[in-house]
Amino acid sequence: MNAEVKQPKVLMKVENLVKHFPVRLGAYGEKKAVVHAIDDISFDIYRGETLGLVGESGCGKSTTGFALLQLYKPSSGKITFDGLELTAMEEKALRPVRKRAQIIFQDPYSTLNPRMTILDAMAEPIRVHNLLPEKEIPARIAQLLDDVGLNFSFANRYPHEFSGGQRQRICIARALASNPEFIVCDEPISALDVSIQAQIINLMMDLQEKYKLTYLFIAHDLAVVRHISDRVVVMYLGKIMEIADKKELFDNPKHPYTKALLAAVPEADPDHERNKSRVILTGDVSNAIDPPSGCRFHPRCQYAKDACKKAQGPQLIKVAPGHLSACPYF
């Protein structure tokens, strides 16, 4: 893979990232095994962009988000954030980085400490990093709550008093409290109702513009990813299948998996649904404990050849400027 020499500044560089989880199987945990959550992935995140990361459950997309922020220690590989090599740093040394790189989780119900008021929860990053004197904190929180469309009168309440959408707004506000540059959004809307999802997407796009944020937007919903992203990474069973600009990926997908994934998404248009040619992927996602040899996707791929099963899986190859695909045949 050639490093491209044109383009905007790289904020986060992921090189050959691997994350394996040891597990124990069998009724008494007598069998040791390894879950191949992420297997050798590399990609860049450019400053100011939204990079979409899509894939089905078990593809390693959330693990990637966690590993990027060193919330899981990667098994191997290198992650560089604005010149700092995070993978080489101790937890203590990472603390200043934590201020600059934040995360929003999928389930807003469990990400707020039930014993802390909203004010305390939001003040936490400010206090931990000594960003403001104590007496200026309420004003800052009022401003943050205002940014996410909530009233400061909520600040002294506990999380359980809020709806899912409101909690997600609070989580976003808390993530913003330390003025981060980069936010990992781990399926931030998939636990919310449809009408609330749109509110949160709009909010996140507004905030990105206002604070010049860089997002890694992890989701399984392709329509949402298409809506919010600039570039998209498609993962399958711990490997990257395809990376491209949003428009390129959705209009001109190369990898058979991306094509199948796009075909599987239902569209709210009866005419389109009636006329669309359906390529329905057969079978289920293989097991990450014993992933298939060669191309991870070959057991479900209708074009699979013998070469696809060979030991070394296909590498990402450049099919167009800024468009990489892990399938040599398309």
Partner 1 sequence: MSALLEVKDLETQFKVRAGKLHAVNGVSFSLKQGEMLGVVGESGCGKSVTMMSLIRLLPPSASITNGSVMFEGVDLVKANKEQINAVRGSKIGMIFQDPMTSLNPFVKIGVQLSEGLMYHKSMRKKDAYDRCAQYLDMVGISNSRHRLEEYPHQLSGGMRQRVMIAMALVSEPKIVIADEPTTALDVTIQAQIVDLVKGLREKLDTSIIWITHDLSLLAGMVDRIMVMYAGCVVEEANLRDLYKDPRHPYTIGLLNSIPRLKNNENRRLRSIPGQPPNLLQKPASCPFASRCAFKTERCDRENPGLESVPGDDGASGHRIACWADTRGRI
Partner 2 sequence: MESEAKKTAVVEEKQYNLFKDAMKRLAANKLAMVGLIVVSLVILIAIIGPMITPYDFLSQDLNYRNKAPSAQHWFGTDDLGRDVFSRVIYGARTAVIVAISVTVLSYLIGIVLGSLAGYLGGKVDAFVVWLIDVFMSIPSLLLVIVVNVSVKPVLVNWMDAKFLETQNQFFRNTTWVDFAIVFGSLAFIKWPKAARIIRGQILSIKNKNYVVAAKALGVPTSKIIRRYIIPNSIGPFIVSISSTLGEAMVLESSFSFLGVGVKPPIPSWGNMISDGLRVWQVYPHILAAPALVLAIVTISFSFLGDGLNDALNPRQWK
Query: What is the pattern of x (binds partner 1, CB under 8 A) and - over residues 180-219?
Result: -------------xxxxxxx-xx--x--------------
Q: Which of 202, 195, 186, 192 is nearest to 148 (CA)?
A: 202
At 273, is the secondary structure helix, strand, or coil? helix
Token pair, residue 97, equals 């980085």
CB 16 within 8 A of CB 40: yes
Token pair, residue 89, equals 């740093």
Q: Is 160 in the site for partner 1 (CB under 8 A)?
A: no
In the list partner 2, partner 1, none, the entry touching 178 (Cβ below 5 to 8 angstroms by class) is partner 2
Output the smallest distance, CB 221 to partner 2, in A: 20
* CA atoms of 324 and 245, how far apart (whole Å): 10
Q: Is 285 in the site for partner 2 (CB under 8 A)?
A: no
* CA atoms of 237 and 176, how far apart (whole Å): 32
Question: Which residue of 33, 94, 142, 304 would you call a contact of partner 2, by CB under 8 A?
Answer: 94
Output the smallest distance, CB 56 to partner 1, in A: 4
Helices assigned H by DSSP within 112-233: 118-128, 137-147, 164-176, 194-211, 222-228
Output the smallest distance, CB 274 to partner 2, in A: 34
Question: Which residue of 17, 54, 86, 105 would you call a contact of partner 2, by CB under 8 A?
Answer: 105
Q: Is 224 in the site for partner 1 (CB under 8 A)?
A: yes
Q: Is 153 in the site for partner 1 (CB under 8 A)?
A: no
CB 246 within 8 A of CB 306: no
Q: Is 273 in the site for partner 1 (CB under 8 A)?
A: yes
Q: Is 111 in the site for partner 2 (CB under 8 A)?
A: yes
